[in-house]
Structure 1
Amino acid sequence: MTLVGLDVGTTGCKAVVFSEGGRPLGASYREYGIDADREGKAEQDTAEVWSLTRQVLAEAVERAGRPAIAGLSLSVQGDAIIPLGADGEPVHPAILGMDYRSAPQAGACAERFGPEALYRRTGMRPHAINSLCKLLWLREARPEVWARTCKVVTYADFILGRLGAPGFIDLTMASRTMAWDIERGDWADDLLADLGLDRSLFSAAVPTGTVCGRLAPALAAELRITGDVALVAGAHDQPAGAVGAGVLTDGDAAVSTGTAEVLSTTFSNLAGAADLYAGYYPSTLSAVPGRYFTFSLNHVGGLMLRWYRDVWGTAEVIEAEKRGADAYETILSELPDGPSPVMVLPHLNGAGTPSCDPVSMGAVVGLTLATRRADVAKAIIECQTYELALNLAALRAAGVEVSRLTAIGGGARSEAWLKTKADVLAVPIRTLEVTEAGCLGAAIFAGCGTGVYSSLDDGVRRAVRFRSVHEPDPAAHAAYARRFEVYKGLHGALRPIHQRLRAP
């Protein structure tokens, strides 16, 4: 039997059909748009997302040879909300996690309940990214839409419902809403009542791996999918990707380098909640039963390398075009060995965790007449890894130990970037044979729900395979450690200047 992992992200959706052993048999991907403006709006056409989701499912199954499918599960973008009317249809576009129009509502929640008290209760700081704050904004800013709203769903319960199992949200997604009591393990009824809301707005929360229904027969016929396909509760994309990377226990973490760079891990207790709060780390539920989940965020991981390519890397782009090569590969192949003589602060969109400073800006420090473009490119790779080092130190201070990383995302394809990570962080970096960790994690959930795997451990043991391990070089680490001591002071030293630059 085969399993399907469906990843519905912020800018695109991907479906992969896997064998029980984790071998990809067929895949398909589509991109979709975001309706955004300078006022903080970030919305999405759910009809387009659902249409393209159906297309990738049909294509992936066709490319796999139309095998019988045992189960399907999800990896989805977090925090977006979709208001549904009495007929179960959307009455407004999806309001995405990156929509910050709900900042006033987040501030009101902080004032009303206390930010630390809310964090202890829900695992989430009051912030515009949170689903509950978006729901409050919708009620206040769009009363005509709110009057027609009977349910508010995330992409997890929206896609499950469209597939044939309405009314279910997995615990990883429920615990990201700021409406879930992580200690009681239920919707926070008193908090909701204080805000004039009721749990009837939300779907029933179930553990990842729960069978919620079957693929609707009409949809199965449309997609030409055979088999009695179980629809299995999935997870938020970060926990799903972590499972697809084999991250199940203390000490392991996944580092995903795409547009942003995210380090995600699972841990066993909330003893360090105060330190996690101080570092702006969420404390939500893991896809692994009985465990919690958190992650760091650097807003411009791979995005900063793209910025370098577009602004600084014209020569490399031209050279790559001549050779029929990828421009990023050309840039990374020319990096010098050892620490760069210049240093970059990668805060092009403010600082991520553990400071989450919106005032901070990007900077290049240490330029001389001898500086080459490759020095700046190497400094960009290094500064991303220094940011990871800051986060590893903060997580360790909170009792979340990380001693091994698994690299996923586009950055996992660069040997130079992987070597830099290992040498700066002094931890081994593993890479995967199957790089689509989110889809693989979702397929493992489907396998657990249908009995193909006896547990997540069994699924990871049978389906996740590692391609290589990059061990840290002690001499290189010592050189980077000296540079990191300088880097740790860069943000604070430049912040007064950035404040003045941002002043009207």
Structure 2
Amino acid sequence: MFIAALDLGTTGCRTFIFDLAGNIMGSDYEEWKSFYPTPSSVEQDANAWWSSIKKTIDAAIKKSGVAPNEIVSLSVTNQRETIVPVDKEGNPLHNALVWQDRRTTEQVEFIEEKIGLDKIYQTTGLTIDPYFSATKILWFKQEKPAIYEKTHKFLLVSDFIINKLTGKFVTDFSNASRTMLFDIKNLRYSEDIASELEIDLDKMPEAVESGVDIGEINCAETYFDLKTLVITGAGDQQSAALGVGVTAPGEIKCTTGTGSFILAYLEEPKFDPQKRVLCSCHAVPGTWVQEASIFTSGAVLRWFRDEIAHEECSRVENGQDPYDIITAEAEKSPIGA
């Protein structure tokens, strides 16, 4: 028996096929693009997510040499907070607003005036920031009301792919807890906050624990067998924390990708009186994580590669990674340069 993992990042996606001992049997990666319609806006095409992940699924299965009917289950991890409005068939009604998008400053001010930071933080574990999904949903409601009215569900990236695979509208607690609409103590959407913001919770996917069997694949567009089970996963940072063993008090992880994130394990929600760190649901059911982050570490390196390091990238040969050339050049600079 084998299992599959779909990793839906900010700059691309990958599929892994594992045996039950955790050995990688096959994998594949595809980059995808972000679009910047204004200096503060970051969007992605949700249909491109689907076409890209299908390519990696099929390529990873081929590379693995594993028969599709031997893959018993799959799960999904994802860039968090990014939101896309879809119709009843799961078709996107607008480009997704990416977690890096900062166009929602007016919505942030509205939430601060309407509800206030203390209530938001004590309920959701989050601060009021354009980063989080509720500000983006509110932007659709206030700036694109026709799209808001047509929206059947607002989906996160993993939710969108799960819907494509199963036809179901489902999210997990770890992702729901990054929307700024989720009560992390009671593990349900906050009717109070949604009511004050006049956001219709019927437009949100059902939220369940990570590790829940949500049904078989019913999509024939990939090499997966239609009897393969889809299991709820978790947001990328919670998944990374689980993967490196942050499963007990005192354990903490730091990872760098598009951004850099520090997460610590919690047995119950914990709130910082100065609101310097956030609290969200963990991938481990019945536990939480405390989190601090910066948003632009790897993203800046990619920007440098694409916009400035043309000479360095032109020297790429024999499959050499352009990032290796860039970092080798950077190593020649003195400390503090």
**TM-score (normalizing by structure 2):** 0.89
Identity %: 28
Match for residue 48 of structure 1? 48
Cα separation, partners in 2 of 1:324 and 1:131, compared to 1, 3 Å: closer
2:228 is matched with which residue? 229
**Alignment check: 8 A CA contact 2:83 2:136 kept:** yes
Aligned partner of 2:267 in structure 1 is 268
Show structure 1 runs of 4+ deviating over 4 A: 302-315, 320-336
CA distance in 1, matches of 2:80, 2:114: 25
Shift of 1:223: 2.4
Q: CA separation of 1:43/1:311 partners in 2, compared to 1, >3 Å: closer, same or farther?
A: closer
CA distance in 1, matches of 2:161, 2:196: 30
SS at match of 2:254: strand
Residue type of the alignment partner of 2:25: L
Alignment equivalent of 2:290, drawn from 287, 294, 304: 294
Q: Secondary structure at the match of 1:213?
A: strand
Query: What are the superposed Cα offsets for residues 283-328 of structure 1, whole Å, 9 maximum, x if unpaired?
Result: 110111221113322344345667888999999x59x879996676
Question: Which of residues 206, 215, 218 in structure 1 aligns to 2:217?
Answer: 215
Counterpart residue identity of residue 374, structure 1 = S
1:122 partnered with 2:124: yes
Shift of the 327–145 alpha-carbon distance from structure 1 to 2, 3 Å rule, reads closer
**Letter aligned with residue 297 of structure 2:** G
> What letter matches 1:59 in structure 2?
A
On the 8 A contact 2:83/2:96 being kept in 1, the answer is: yes
Structure 2: how far apart are the matches of 1:334 and 1:97? 31
Return the letter of the residue paired with 2:240: G
Between the aligned partners of 2:46 and 2:178, the Cα distance in structure 1 is: 20
Structure 1 residue matching 2:139: 3-state secondary structure: helix
SS at the partner of 2:74?
strand
Q: Are residues 115 and 374 of structure 1, via their aligned partners in 2, closer, same or farther at CA, if it must alter by over 3 Å?
A: same
Q: Which moved more, 1:99-108 or 1:14-23?
A: 99-108
TM-score, with length taken from structure 1: 0.61
Partners of 1:157 and 1:203 in 2: CA distance: 8
Among 176, 186, 189, which residue is 2:188 paired with? 186
Alpha carbons 2:248, 2:265 under 8 Å: kept: yes
Question: Is the contact between residue 73 and residue 231 of structure 1 (CA under 8 Å) also seen in structure 2?
Answer: yes
Match of 2:80 among 67, 78, 81: 78
Which AA in structure 2 matches 1:285?
A: C
Q: Secondary structure at the match of 2:253?
A: strand
| Amino acid in structure 1 at the alignment position of 2:229 | A
Letter of the aligned partner of 1:65 in structure 2?
G
After superposition, where does 1:197-216 map in structure 2 within 5 Å? 197-216=199-218
Return the structure number with greater relative CO, CA threshold 8 A, min gap 6: 1
Which residue does the alignment assign to 2:91? 89
Equivalent residue for 1:375? Answer: 334
**Aligned residue for 2:242?**
243
- Aligned position for 2:145: 143
CA distance in 1, matches of 2:60, 2:42: 29
Look up the match of 2:18.
18
| 2:111 aligned to which of 91, 94, 109 | 109
Letter aligned with residue 102 of structure 1:
T
Which stretches in structure 2 are left out of the alignment for 5+ residues?
Answer: none
CA distance in structure 1 between the aligned counterparts of 2:146 and 2:280, rounded to whole angstroms: 33
191 and 322 in structure 1: CA distance in 2 versus 1, 3 angstrom threshold: closer
- Give the distance between the partners of 1:141 and 1:325, measured in 2 at CA: 45
Decide whether the 8 Å contact of 1:6 with 1:16 is kept in 2. Answer: yes
Within the candidate set 281, 288, 311, 1:285 is matched to: 281
Partner-residue secondary structure (3-state), 1:7: strand
Give the 3 Å change call, closer, same or farther, for CA 37–203 of structure 1 in structure 2: same
Q: How far off is 1:69 after superposition?
A: 0.6
Counterpart of 1:262, as a letter, is F
Give the Cα–Cα distance (whole angstroms) in 2 for the partners of residues 180 and 147 of structure 1: 22
Higher gyration radius (CA): 1
Q: Aligned-pair distance for 1:252?
A: 2.2
In 1, Cα distance between the equivalents of 2:60 and 2:182? 35
- How many residues end up aligned between the 2 structures? 334
Residue 274 of structure 1 and its aligned partner are, at CA, apart by: 1.6
SS at match of 1:246: coil
- Once the 2 structures are TM-superposed, how far is the Cα of residue 48 of structure 1 from its aligned partner? 1.2
Change beyond 3 A, Cα 1:53–1:81: same
- Amino acid paired to 1:64: S
- What one-letter code is carried by the residue in structure 1 that aligns with 2:267? S
Report the Cα distance in structure 2 between the residues aligned to 1:78 and 1:194, rounded to whole angstroms. 24
Do 2:279 and 2:288's aligned partners in 1 also have CA atoms closer than 8 Å?
yes
Task: Kindly provide the CA deviation profile for residues 323-382 of structure 1, in whole angstroms up to 9, marking residues without a partner as x.
Answer: 99667657767999xxxxxxxxxxxxxxxxxxxxxxxxxxxxxxxxxxxx4313xx47xx
Q: CA deviation at 1:228?
A: 2.1
**2:64 match:** 64
- Quote the Cα distance in structure 2 between the aligned partners of 1:11 and 1:51: 14
Alpha-carbon RMSD across the aligned residues, in angstroms, is 2.8
CA–CA distance in structure 2, aligned partners of residues 325 and 89 of structure 1? 38
Distance 1:83 1:312 in 2: 34
Residue deviations 1:420-476 (CA, integer Å, cap 9, x gap): xxxxxxxxxxxxxxxxxxxxxxxxxxxxxxxxxxxxxxxxxxxxxxxxxxxxxxxxx
Aligned counterpart, 1:154: 156
Q: Matched residue of 2:150: which SS? A: coil
Question: Following the alignment from structure 1 to structure 2, what is the Cα–Cα distance between the partners of residues 184 and 272?
Answer: 15
1:175 to 2:177 alignment: yes
More helix by share: 1
